[in-house]
Amino acid sequence: MATPDIIDTLAGIAPGSALDAIRARRLQARENAQKSYLSLFEPIDARNFSLAERAAVAAFVTGLHGESPVAAFYRDKLVANPDGARLLEAIDAEIARGRTSGPYGSYPAGPLSVENTAGLIYRVSAASKSALGIRLVAALEHAHLLVFRPRDAASDDMKALLDAGWSSTGIVTFSQLVAFLSFQVRVVSGLRTLAAANA
């Protein structure tokens, strides 16, 4: 195998273990979770969403979920980029400002309005804006919405990304990346919890 399976690595699943055997029963899912990771972080075409931007968004998104092997992995990935260490400093400051509990947000006006829950409407600090640049500022603000209050998303949020220089294709890949990480961080956490319950 070329690249070790990233979910197995992050969840600490050893070859030959009970969870390794269970994951092998969903081989297509295992292989394609891996291909999802590779096509997001080692894409054949990064013109619409650069590798450094991908790593920065990933470090932010996984960091918002709290300290974990997944968050540490994407921090390291960011630092491995030219300029990554400088970006990480701003990302760390923004993670600290953006951490909260979700999901929250509002429903379309109607019977579900009683379930509307207020919470942080995160905006990048003035201090971090120059280090991040206009595209990443818009990306972090939208990523925070996706992580914590996805039901608040509106067409104006697409406009904000387009206005910051994101192409439609870039927005699709960026949205996939944040959404994929929301999946990956949960699979890893769930498998780790299950492994610990068996230890």
Partner 1 sequence: MSATVNPPVAFTQDELGWVSWIDPLPEAGLTERHFNGLVDRARAKSEYFRLLVRDPEVLEARTKTDKDIFYNVADGLPRAERELAAAATSRYNGCIYCASVHARFASTYSKRRDDVQKLLDEGVKADLGERWNAIVKASVALAATPIAFGPDNVAELRRVGLDDAEIVDVINGASFFNWANRLMLSLGEPSK
Provide the binding-site residues for partner 1, judged by CB under 8 A: 18-19, 22-23, 25-29, 31-33, 35-36, 38-40, 43-44, 64-66, 101-103, 105, 107-112, 115, 142, 145-148, 150-151, 153, 155, 157-158, 162, 168-169, 171-173, 175-176, 178-180, 182-187, 189-191, 193-194, 196-198
Comparison of 165 and 190: residue with beta carbon closer to partner 1 = 190
d(CA 34, CA 36): 5
For the chain, what is the radius of gyration of the CA atoms? 18
Whether residue 150 has a cis bond before it, omega within 30° of 0: no
- Residues 188 and 72: their CA atoms lie apart, in Å, by 13
Closest to partner 1 by CB, 106 or 125: 106
Given the complex with partner 1, which of 93 and 120 has the nearer CB atom? 120
> What contacts 191, CB < 8 A, 6 or more positions away?
7, 11, 13, 19
Minimum distance of partner 1 from residue 97's CB (angstroms): 15
Token representation of residue 106:
């509002």
Angstrom distance (rounded) from CA 164 to CA 141: 12
Q: How far is the CB of 130 from partner 1 (least distance, A)?
A: 27
As measured in angstroms, the least distance from the Cβ of 126 to partner 1 is 26
Q: How far lies 17's CA from each of 20, 143, 152, 177, in Å?
A: 5, 35, 41, 29
Closest distance of CB 169 from partner 1, Å: 4
Nearer to partner 1, 66 or 165 (CB): 66
If the CB atoms of residues 130 and 168 are measured against partner 1, the closer one turns out to be 168
Type of residue found at 108: P
- Minimum CB separation of residue 38 from partner 1 in Å reads 8
Residue 170, SS3 per DSSP: helix
